[in-house]
């Protein structure tokens, strides 16, 4: 089979196509013939490297992918050859109290396909049977690859960590990112009012089309002043942040009493100075969030397959255009997801 391998960190030149044996599923595993794979910022980190984190190189990246069941290992016979599936990107190897409670993302051995082990940037991939989600016959396989990581992440941030409620005023940074597209839709699903930021008029318009109520170009306006006006000086209830040093320190000042910032990433940098005064004066919460449990994933999947949440695809690429897709993502030229067509199914 053809697979992309990363042997060392660097630019797009380290994405190497190789011919590998088609893997055989072991106990509890299923082999998926991959139809589509979606790119995430995690794919850039796997390729580039990330300070303080060691990736198991060489590795096949790709945490989001869909396709059909192609082989079934012992103990995984609940799945049938040819079934249409998408993959929950986070997994655990062993039983744990966290996994038993549906909080797989808190298990000590939690891993992510394409980061902890080989993922879906290959013609065939092995996954744990419990990580498969059946895709309805009338739901496109490309869209089935476009939602798992980002919609699960956004759901866990807003629903599980922040307890979003009707009428909450929610700020979501970087409107065009996969997580922010999902977060906007989820916040609106719960009856919240949503403000988004973006760096271009085009992305602002797309953010509003995605359901946001108010949009601000952070290159042209002070988003904290805009948020103050938008909330009638009351302050924001929730800020969804995956930018980091460029936004989070200012965010604590923009929150209402009892407000919360939830972060799932730091694309602009992780080390920052933070004023603690507003945090205790206003009883604020700064919440970390990584992925979510399989129970949440299955609930999100139902909402997606029913059309209540809708992944947005920016561009589709052939498998051999993976370097170009990485460049588009790295240069922030997408609104929504970038997809790779791996096999024609």
Tokens of 302: 């139902």
φ/ψ bin of 4: left (φ > 0), alpha (ψ from -120 to 50), beta (otherwise): beta
Residues 72 and 19 grouped into a single domain = yes
List own/partner pairs for 48-57 with CB under 8 A and 24 or more apart: 48/9, 48/10, 48/11, 49/9, 49/10, 55/6, 55/9, 55/115, 56/116, 56/117, 57/6, 57/7, 57/8, 57/9
Residues 35 and 158 grouped into a single domain = no
Residue 82, number of CB atoms within 10 A of its CB: 10
User: Domain end: 249, 273, 288, which one?
Assistant: 288
Place of tokens 């089935």: 144
301 within a domain of the structure (yes/no): no
Q: Average pLDDT by consecutive 10-residue portion of the chain (345 residues)?
A: 98 98 98 98 96 94 98 97 98 87 90 98 98 98 98 98 98 97 98 97 98 97 97 98 93 97 90 92 97 95 98 98 98 96 96
106 within a domain of the structure (yes/no): yes
Looking at the structure of the chain, the number of domains it has is 2
d(C-alpha 66, C-alpha 136), whole Å: 12
Residues 176 and 129 grouped into a single domain = no
pLDDT value at residue 94: 79
pLDDT value at residue 100: 85
Domain that residue 72 falls in: 2-146+312-341
d(C-alpha 245, C-alpha 306), whole Å: 37
pLDDT value at residue 51: 85
Residues 233 and 318 grouped into a single domain = no
Residues 251 and 133 grouped into a single domain = no
70 within a domain of the structure (yes/no): yes
305 within a domain of the structure (yes/no): no
pLDDT value at residue 101: 85
Residues 6 and 141 grouped into a single domain = yes
Question: Quick check: 215 and 175 in contact, CB under 8 A?
Answer: yes
pLDDT value at residue 139: 98
Residue 15, number of CB atoms within 10 A of its CB: 18
306 within a domain of the structure (yes/no): no
Residues 69 and 119 grouped into a single domain = yes
CATH at 175: 3.40.50.720
pTM of the model: 0.96
Q: Where are the alpha helices (DSSP H) in 125-272?
A: 141-145, 148-155, 178-189, 201-209, 223-230, 248-254
Question: Quick check: 246 and 266 in contact, CB under 8 A?
Answer: no
Residues 142 and 157 grouped into a single domain = no
Tokens of 277: 């005064």
Residues 134 and 157 grouped into a single domain = no
- 329's enclosing H/E stretch is helix 322-330
Tokens of 303: 């909402």
Place of tokens 């403000």: 195
205 within a domain of the structure (yes/no): yes
Residues 135 and 21 grouped into a single domain = yes
Residues 324 and 188 grouped into a single domain = no
Residues 260 and 317 grouped into a single domain = no
């Amino acid at each position: 089979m053809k697979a992309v391998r990363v042997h060392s960190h660097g630019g797009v030149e380290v994405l190497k196509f190789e011919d590998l044996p088609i893997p055989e599923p072991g106990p509890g595993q299923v082999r998926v013939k991959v139809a589509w794979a979606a790119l995430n910022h995690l794919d850039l980190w796997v390729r580039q490297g990330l300070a303080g984190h060691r990736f198991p190189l060489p590795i096949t990246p790709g945490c989001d992918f869909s396709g059909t069941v192609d082989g079934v290992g012992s103990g995984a016979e609940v799945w049938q050859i040819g079934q249409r599936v998408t993959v929950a990107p986070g997994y655990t190897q062993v039983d744990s109290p966290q996994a038993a409670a549906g909080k797989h993302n808190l298990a000590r051995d939690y891993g992510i396909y394409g980061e902890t082990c080989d993922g879906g940037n290959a013609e065939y991939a092995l996954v744990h049977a419990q990580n498969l989600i059946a895709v309805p016959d009338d739901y496109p396989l490309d869209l089935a690859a476009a939602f798992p990581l980002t919609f699960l992440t956004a759901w866990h941030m807003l629903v599980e960590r922040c307890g979003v409620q009707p009428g909450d005023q929610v700020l979501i940074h970087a409107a065009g990112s996969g997580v922010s597209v999902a977060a906007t839709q989820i916040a609106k699903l719960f009856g919240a009012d949503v403000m988004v930021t973006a760096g271009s008029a085009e992305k602002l318009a797309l953010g509003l089309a995605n359901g946001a109520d108010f949009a601000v170009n952070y290159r042209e306006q002070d988003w904290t002043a805009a948020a103050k006006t938008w909330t009638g000086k009351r302050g924001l209830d929730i800020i969804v942040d995956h930018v980091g040093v460029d936004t989070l320190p200012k965010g604590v000042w923009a929150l209402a009493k009892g407000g919360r910032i939830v972060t799932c990433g730091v694309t602009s940098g992780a080390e920052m100075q933070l004023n603690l005064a507003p945090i205790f004066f206003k009883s604020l919460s700064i919440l970390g969030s990584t992925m979510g449990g399989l129970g949440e994933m299955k609930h999100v999947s139902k909402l997606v397959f029913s059309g209540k949440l809708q992944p947005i695809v920016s561009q589709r690429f052939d498998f051999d255009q993976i370097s170009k897709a990485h460049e588009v993502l790295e240069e922030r030229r997408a609104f929504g997801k970038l997809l790779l067509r791996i096999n024609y199914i």
